[in-house]
Structure 1
């Protein structure tokens, strides 16, 4: 997602680095430094990786060391047993040596005969002794080898794990093999350094369908953040630019507001259903989104009901009926051409009578410039008294979606936005702009074609998508 914006952000960092290095070369204020150059996106995952690794090291290494110590202790016990055995047999040997002390003097011939006799006896008994000791030696050797193998295996796992962690750190940091420079005298970023670079960034944002006021807000924030920064190394330029852009975008996309789930709970506590009215132009996926939301809240344990208040468009009632049947929720509908406000009113009354927690009102798609249809939409709002009026826009239309939302907001006062096809949006202009322009939160993102392919909006998740090289893998079922 948002590959176009990612490239523009990264290019801003590269251009500023080129500008400062070129100026330092002219001033003879540059020297190559040992080290590796970080990529723009490496700063997003590096801090999190270091935190995880430090926690992992504290939690896991003592267990491994303890295991190794236990193994060493068992080795000592085995050695003590061997010493005890050795002491027992050596004691017997010493006793037998003491018994060999002569009681009285013997002649030389008798002594020689006794020595020859003793040698013959020793030769006969030697194989037996050898077999006995070799057997015990083999058993001790096998036990020792097994203990050593277990110790080596644990040590091997311990060191190989840390080696793997070190290796993964190097890969995750996504470093380049060279290109690290430092300034002999620290450089200070000035407005002169940023003038052309920020103009290029602003043009790039506009080309990515970002609204004019949003592009200007990002550029001004980055300028305020960077001007006056003192730079000692080339990596500092990349890091400061990354943080400046990330902070600017974080302020843009984080529009405060309650989630729909929180509002359902609040209304449920009052014994009332949450009534949500959906508006937007034709072809944005409004009816399909209603089916997705019905499925989403059905799986959360709520009981939705859908109102087929688009009574004029050919096939509209059949379309919403299809989605209601697929997900298994009740549909309130009238005849084609009937009053849309009456359908919405009946759906609300049905939910109150049956104790259902959520009413989803489908309305006819209309262009924001069609005055008659906009007046009809206002009538539905007066009659049904919805708690939320939600604009459904197509993320792929970019700045057009933002302009449409602005017109609907002026006419009917929107409470939130749902963007469809966000998973296919390479530019990201609408996702970045729409909430900031109308000052209303994004509630959900459509992320695919299935009923489960909808995600409750999370500003932190969006920020990670914009400032990670490949983006985080999204589990649509987690929201």
Structure 2
């Protein structure tokens, strides 16, 4: 995952480094010219006596403000050059940022998110003096890391701590469109919680889809978990209510409730979620979608959050997504965090979404085979 985004960011760093190198050369040339001109002026002063009556307007202290600004600006550039540094100017970023924006959009990054990243990069880089002990790559990496982290980490919270501190049973309801892997994700989370010392019951609130009971039951049997279901066509709220009651009576820590796949425009199904909220009052409602859906996943996450507020998102098939644009867009668009990435078919193939780790992958490490 993220190979496309990593390549995009690497190209951007190369573009800005190329601009910075040209700045170094220009500054060096300007400094050399200035040195020659200063020497020539000094020689001329030694040869020519000072005029008897000097016009006060020519006194250095009365030089026009614009001239001082030019002098100060050049002095800063010269100082940066003298210490081995370079100042990154707005014009040095314009073309690389324009190219980066197009590349981000082609990597499925939502437009508003791309603009936020670009604004953060520009704010972090403009006017930066790259010290002699730093490489331009170091400065760029720091600026990119901060801008990306600010976008990716929106809404993040300590999931494991939240689970530990919430009164039991903790109730999680899963929603999203059909066929994105909700049921398998529920099974993976049951295994995740088991590894962390929690018991779980699986409940099938998808009473509309033929075969839904059998699918989740198979996972429950494979994981040796209690399974709660009603007949097809029954009331999903009643199923989840029964699961909560079972958990309370049997000291089960967590209820994982599936719901029917739906579009945000499915009024009847959205009304079901509202009823579940009223009757069951889940601790968390999690949106599930495929990472490979790209911009569609981002749009759906936003629409579901508007229609029935979610608490976080899980992206499946992240291992099959070469771009990663959805993964860095959903949190910023919804204001709710991505909590997990599905990275394979096995029950253990579920990764916590760690913004700092993701940012490091994009900028420093090899993202392949992760």
TM-score normalised by length of structure 1: 0.63
Partner SS state of residue 331, structure 1: strand
Give yes or no for contact 1:308–1:343 (8 Å, CA) kept in 2.
yes
Q: How many Å apart are 1:199 and its aligned residue? A: 1.1
- Tell me which residue corresponds to 2:285: 389
- Tell me which residue corresponds to 1:179: none
Residue 340 (1) aligns with residue 236 (2): yes
Partner SS state of residue 275, structure 1: strand
- Tell me which residue corresponds to 1:247: 146
Q: Out of 224-233 and 204-213, give the one that drifted further.
A: 224-233
Partner SS state of residue 135, structure 2: helix
Of 131, 135, 143, 1:236 maps to 135
Distance in 2, Cα, partners of 1:441 & 1:265: 18
- Tell me which residue corresponds to 1:308: 204
Distance in 1, Cα, partners of 2:359 & 2:350: 18
Partner SS state of residue 201, structure 1: helix
- Tell me which residue corresponds to 2:93: 194
- Tell me which residue corresponds to 1:6: 6
- Tell me which residue corresponds to 1:273: 169
Give yes or no for contact 1:333–1:343 (8 Å, CA) kept in 2.
yes
- Tell me which residue corresponds to 1:211: 110
Q: Deviations over 1:152-174 (max 9, x none)?
A: xxxxxxxxxxxxxxxxxxxxxxx
Structure 1 segment 129-168 matched on structure 2, within 5 A? none
Give yes or no for contact 1:344–1:384 (8 Å, CA) kept in 2.
yes
Q: Deviations over 1:238-283 (max 9, x none)?
A: 2211111111111111234444432332234xxx300000000111
Of 266, 282, 285, 2:181 maps to 285
Q: Deviations over 1:78-98 (max 9, x none)?
A: xxxxxxxxxxxxxxxxxxxxx
Q: 1:469 to 1:238 in 2, by over 3 A?
A: same
Of 365, 368, 378, 2:264 maps to 368
Distance in 2, Cα, partners of 1:20 & 1:466: 22
The structure whose residues are more often helix, as a share, is 1
Residue 403 (1) aligns with residue 302 (2): no
Partner SS state of residue 452, structure 1: coil
Q: 1:232 to 1:304 in 2, by over 3 A?
A: closer
Q: How many Å apart are 1:21 and its aligned residue? A: 3.0
Residue 435 (1) aligns with residue 331 (2): yes
Partner SS state of residue 29, structure 1: helix
Question: 5+ unaligned residues in a row in structure 1: which ranges?
Answer: 31-181, 475-479
Give yes or no for contact 2:343–2:351 (8 Å, CA) kept in 1.
yes
Q: How many Å apart are 1:191 and its aligned residue? A: 1.0
Residue 466 (1) aligns with residue 369 (2): no
Give yes or no for contact 1:464–1:471 (8 Å, CA) kept in 2.
no
Q: Deviations over 1:431-454 (max 9, x none)?
A: 111111111122211111100111
Give yes or no for contact 2:203–2:243 (8 Å, CA) kept in 1.
yes
Distance in 2, Cα, partners of 1:312 & 1:470: 44
Residue 17 (1) aligns with residue 8 (2): no
Q: Out of 228-237 and 294-303, give the one that drifted further.
A: 228-237
Distance in 2, Cα, partners of 1:190 & 1:257: 33
Number of aligned residues: 321
Give yes or no for contact 1:307–1:343 (8 Å, CA) kept in 2.
yes
Q: Deviations over 1:120-146 (max 9, x none)?
A: xxxxxxxxxxxxxxxxxxxxxxxxxxx
TM-score normalised by length of structure 2: 0.81
Q: Deviations over 1:444-471 (max 9, x none)?
A: 1111110011122222221222122413
Distance in 2, Cα, partners of 1:24 & 1:302: 59
Q: How many Å apart are 1:224 and its aligned residue? A: 1.1
Q: Deviations over 1:212-238 (max 9, x none)?
A: 111111111111111112346696322
C-alpha root-mean-square deviation of aligned residues, in Å?
2.3
Give yes or no for contact 2:203–2:227 (8 Å, CA) kept in 1.
yes
